[in-house]
Structures are given as structure tokens and as C-alpha cells.
Amino acid sequence: MIPTTEWMSSAATRPCATNPERWFSKSAKDRNAAVRECRSCPVLQACREYALATRPAHGVWGGLTARALRPGAAPAQPKRSSKVPVDCASPTSYEQHRRRGESCESCLAKRAAQVEQGRRARLAREHAEHGGSMSGYHAHVALGEQPCLLCRAANARRLAERRAAQRARNAA
Ligand code: SF4
Ligand SMILES: [Zn+2]
Ligand SMILES: [Zn+2]
């Protein structure tokens, strides 16, 4: 029995009613966009039941492509990224977790250690090149330590310069 097709009349709320070309586009990119839009369609369920019963050979129906609707097609696979575990030893694992909204303690710790290492390297550079600087001052603070005398002096000097420049601009 062919399921009811009343859902087809809800043109006002069906995303495919406003831009049907995308649902029948030759471009896979367009069709994938259509699949995504189907997910917010209020008649998704009825449309999908209809499509699974009638197996249209073209277009996107109920969030499924014609290929997925072929008789015997494998059920839609979840996105690969949600299946394969992140390789926590890789340099990009922290970013991968972040994109997936996962929180991984070992990658977070690794990341924190990297950030700290970067700050220490910056501080060593500032000390070697300038003997102390505003940026060194901030690196000390970010590392949770008392800024050294030289960085404190450099920071105070830069702040005073900025204030003087601001006063000069205000006076002009
Ligand atoms: S589920 Fe997709 S194809 Fe079906 S009516 Fe909604 S938007 Fe159109
Ligand atoms: Zn991890
Ligand atoms: Zn310092």
C-alpha cells in the first residue's frame, strides 16, 4: 500500500517547496545540502515513509538520496568522524576533539603543557632580547608567577608611554 501523500500539500512548511532544484540537483553538494534541510522538515517522517515505499529513482526524499533509497542499499552510515576514535597521540587530536565537542583529559593536559611551553619560550626570548618587556610581563602573569624586576620596569615604562601618548592625542 502506498502511504498517504497528504504531507505533500504542506508546501508552506516543506523546505523542498521553496527551492526544489536543490532536491533534484546533479551536484552532490546541492543534494547534501538538501539532505540537511530535510532534517528540519515538519513532514520528514511521512515523506520518508512514502519514499521507502515508492523508491523514487531521482531526488532527495525524506532526508535520503535516491542512492540511499535504492532497494538493498545499506542503511545510512553515521558520519565517519563520529565512529573513528581520535588518535590522541596526533598533533591535531586536541583540535579534533574540540570540533566534535568531546573533552579528553589527556589531550587537554597535553594542550595545556604546550601552551605553557610556548609561554616559557616567549619569556626566555623576551629576556634574552630585551632583558625584560611588556610582553614578558604578561607571559610571567599568564604563567602564574611574579614578573621579574626587568619586566615590571619595562611594563611600567610602556604604560607610562601609552598614557602620555593618549594625553597628547586628547590635547590635540
Ligand atoms: S523531508 Fe525533505 S524531501 Fe520530504 S518534504 Fe521535507 S524537505 Fe521535502
Ligand atoms: Zn584525546
Ligand atoms: Zn621577566
Domain segments of the chain: what residues?
A: 6-69, 93-171
Q: Which ligand 1 atom lies nearest to the CA of residue 60?
A: 3
One pLDDT digit (tens) per residue for the chain, 172 residues: 566 777 787 767 889 988 889 999 999 999 999 999 998 888 888 898 889 888 988 999 999 998 888 887 766 544 444 557 888 988 889 998 888 888 889 999 999 999 999 999 999 999 999 899 999 999 999 999 999 999 999 999 999 999 999 999 999 8
Beta carbon of 94 within 6 Å of any ligand 1 atom:
no
Burial of 7 (0-12, 13-18, 19+ CB in 10 A): buried
> pTM of the predicted model, to two decimals?
0.44
Report the distance separating Cα 11 and Cα 141, nearest Å.
Answer: 60
Beta carbon of 16 within 6 Å of any ligand 1 atom:
yes
Q: Which helix (H) or strand (E) holds 64?
A: strand 64-65
3-state secondary structure of 59: coil
